[in-house]
Structure formats: structure tokens, C-alpha cells
Amino acid sequence: MSMQRRDFLRTIGAASAIAALPGCATMGGGAQGRVVVVGGGYGGATAAKYIRMWSNGSVDVTLVEPNAEFVSCPMSNLVLGGSKDLAYLTTGYANLSARHGVRIVRDTATTVDAGKRTVRLASGAELPYDRLILSPGIDFMWDKVPGLDSAAAQERVFHSWKAGPQTVALRRQLEAMRDGGVYVLSIPVAPYRCPPGPYERACQVAWYFKQAKPRSKVLILDGNGDVTSKGPLFKKAWAEEYKGIVEYRGNHVLSDVDVATNTAKFEVQDAVKADVLNVVPPQRAGAIARAAGVVTANDRWCDVDFLTYESTKVKNVHVLGDAIQIAPGMPKSGHMANQQAKVCAAAVVALLAGQAPSPTPVLTNTCYSMVTDRDSVHVCSVHQYDAEKKTMLTVPGSGGVSPAMNAIEGTYAFAWAKNIWADTLA
């Protein structure tokens, strides 16, 4: 992508937040109330911070999150490759409270009473709200992989699709694997969190094998017919950088796993035994979305009004990030969750001030994928609201995939990560 195009996208990125704002003169003016945010990930933490900022501190914001620290999924595949560690991915929540006055409650939301406008927490506490924002990310559909539907099985075959202890545990399995072994990666049928994430993971594991155990193999068994994101770029990396290491097979819809023998079973194809088996299971919105009654699409995802991210079913409950039913061409990504959170934050501040939300929100997205420890590729897009269709549509010609796969792209990728962590949590 040319520098002019990149600069244009950066400008649009900044403008998208501005486009979402209520009128500048009235920003925060008159906004008052209580907002509870459930989930301190890319969507929730960003929404909490921006509601405090854009209401000039006049709206009370409580963020409910069970984890002591934020651990980023973006860049977590590099921990599997061995070039980064968990500390690199980890940021505390202290700035949200100290700088922005967000009240942080370390707990898990268990139920929502939309009539009374309260959220019940695992501790038994009850939080009242005027507006509730749910950004719980994903839960796994273990019923689709019965052999993994127990705590004991999940301690042997990892998904590592929520960054944290499982990321480190999978890295240990790779380190312990003999040279000449086979790492098998099972990918679910789309939609799932982070379309290019599994293919980046294959590159990172191959990068490790290339240095440390070159007779080993990465076998990708994809439930989709073909690579779902940046296909030509990943295939180029596998053919050139990882020749003889990575093998890709499409149309492998997982039906079950035999944990005792580390074997993946498929709806149609023969079973495959692995030395290290890594299963990314099918996903749906996090459990609190179901408890709140906002799951509306295929019993998996939450339909929202794209002007406010308010649930189409339950009033005063907004949903962000991976949990929503996406618009066409919209990825389930951290960048997208962060952008949706800003539109939602501006809309909530406007609504609490008795004003209308912006009718013209714009979102941008860039997904970088590291193909080595330094080289990256990217795909980007711009999405704008279509009032007639009441959805977000990709702006024609606005993005696309990078022509380059190199270390300059890699420096952009690391800068992207640093920037989004600061935007979300600093």
C-alpha cells in the first residue's frame, strides 16, 4: 500500500472517532448516569475509558472484569514462536482507574435483570445501571467437540484462543515435542475470533520449528474450504519461507477429538493423530450475553443497532466486539472491537445527555499477521453506516491486502500493537 493511502487510512481512523462524537460544543454536556461495562478486553476497556473522557467525568463507569491484568490475543502467536513472552502482551488496569476514574470491580457478571436494570455478580453483589455494555468476547461450543468437553481434556489439548496460561502451556508442548513430530492445528468454520489468526499461528510455529526442530511439520486442518483471510500471502509464506514444513488441507470440519491418543476426527475425512494437537473450537458470544437475553443470531451472536451498539432485543443493553453478529465484511478483531467501543461510548454519552447519536459512524480495521519474528502482512478496511440498509458497509476500494511481506510491515505491526494497547488502557 502506498504511503498516501496509508496516511489516508490513518486520517480516516482518527476521523472515525470524531465522526462518532456528539456535537463538540455539547460534548459531555448534561450527560449523567451510571454505566456498567462487563469485560475489560478490547471492547469493554475502550468503552469504559472513552465514556469517562467524553462525558468529562460526569458519567459513573464501573468495569467488571475477573482478570487482574489485560493479556492481548493480538501478538500472542509470537509467544508460540518464541520471540515474545507473556509479559510483552500484558498491561494492568491501573491507568483506567487512576487517570480516568473508572471503578474497577474484579468479579464475573452472572445475570442481568433488564427490567430492574441491574447486573448480578458472582460475589453476590448487584450493580444498578442506566446503560449496560457487554463486551464478553467468546465462549467455546464444547458440545461440538464432545471429547474436549471436560476440564481434564482441556488440560491436555489446548485452544490457546484466549491469551494467557494456555498460550504458555501450548508453547511448552511445542518445546517438549521431538524433532520430526507433527503439530496439528484445527480451525473452525467461520465466523470465529480473528479470521487470519490461525494462519499466523501456523507461521509462528513453523518459524520455531525451522530454527529448533527442522524435521517437524505443521499440519493445518481447516474446517473452511480455503484460507479465510490473506490467503495468497500466507500461501506464499508457506511455500517460500516454510517449504516442506507447512501443509494445508481445507474442508476438514472437526467432529471430535480423542484426547487419549491425541487424535482429531472429522465429519468426512480420515482421523489424524498428532504429536501436538491444537484445537480452535467453534465459538459464540460469551455466556453473560446469553444470560442477558441478547443472543439473537443462530443461538450464537448478538444483533445490534450499529448507530449505538444497543441490542436489537433488550433496551439499554449494548454489545461490543466478538460477541456481536457482524455486518458484511466486518472481522471479529481487537481493532474492530476498539472502534465499535468508541462509537458506542459516544452514543451512550449522547443518549445520557438526551441527544441523538451520530447518524454517520465510520469504522476502520487493520489486521497485521506476523509471518516470522519480524516480517508481517496486513489486511485493512473502512466501514461506514448505510442508513437505508441499517448496517455497516465496506467502503469500496478503501482497503485490501498488503502487497509486501517484510520487516517494514513488521515495524508497523509492532507500532499498531503498542498504540492500541495505549488507546485501550492508558
Ligand X SMILES: Cc1cc2nc3c(=O)[nH]c(=O)nc-3n(C[C@H](O)[C@H](O)[C@H](O)COP(=O)(O)OP(=O)(O)OC[C@H]3O[C@@H](n4cnc5c(N)ncnc54)[C@H](O)[C@@H]3O)c2cc1C
Of residues 58, 83, 91, 108, which one binds ligand X by CB under 6 A? 108
Q: Would you count residue 135 as binding ligand X (CB under 6 A)?
A: yes
Q: With contact defined as beta carbons under 8 Å apart, do 274 and 264 qualify?
A: yes
- The answer to whether residues 219 and 311 touch, using CB atoms and an 8 Å cutoff, is no
Please tell me whether residue 13 binds ligand X under the rule CB under 6 A: no
Q: Check binding of 73 to ligand X (CB under 6 A).
A: yes
Does residue number 42 form part of the binding site for ligand X (CB under 6 A)? yes
What CA–CA distance (Å, rounded) separates 50 from 225?
40
Q: Which of 12, 31, 38, 220 forms a contact with ligand X (CB under 6 A)?
A: 38
Question: Binding to ligand X by residue 334, rule CB under 6 A?
Answer: yes
Cell of 334: 481487537
Size of the site for ligand X (CB under 6 A): 36
Question: In what order do the strands lie in the sheet containing 254-258?
Answer: 254-258, 263-266, 272-273
Q: How far is the CB of 205 from ligand X (least distance, A)?
A: 12
Q: Identify the residue among 117, 171, 193, 213 touching ligand X (CB under 6 A).
A: 193
Q: b/e string for 271-284 if b means 16 or more Cβ within 10 A? A: ebebbbbbbbbbbb
Does residue number 218 form part of the binding site for ligand X (CB under 6 A)? no
Residues 278-297 within binding reach of ligand X (CB under 6 A): 286, 288
**Does 194 engage in binding with ligand X (CB under 6 A)?**
yes
137 is a contact residue toward ligand X (CB under 6 A): yes
Contact flag: residue 61 with ligand X (CB under 6 A): no
Residue 67 engages ligand X in binding (rule: CB under 6 A): yes
Cβ closer to ligand X: 131 or 193? Answer: 193
The pattern of x and - marking residues 357 through 396 that bind ligand X according to CB under 6 A reads ----------xx----------------------------
Residue nearest to ligand X (CB): 41
Nearest by Cα to 281 from 144, 136, 77: 144
DSSP state of 409: H
Closest CA to 348 of 389, 323, 317, 324: 317
Residue with Cβ nearer ligand X (28 or 248): 248
- Show the beta-strand stretches assigned E in 245-347: 246-249, 254-258, 263-266, 272-273, 276-279, 283-285, 304-305, 310-311, 317-319
296 by Cβ neighbours in 10 Å (0-12 / 13-18 / 19+) ranks as buried
Strands (E), 141-225: 182-187, 217-222
Q: Is 136 in the site for ligand X (CB under 6 A)?
A: yes
Q: Which residues bind ligand X (CB under 6 A)?
A: 38-44, 64-67, 73-74, 76-77, 108-109, 135-137, 161, 193-194, 197, 286, 288, 321-323, 332-335, 337, 367-368
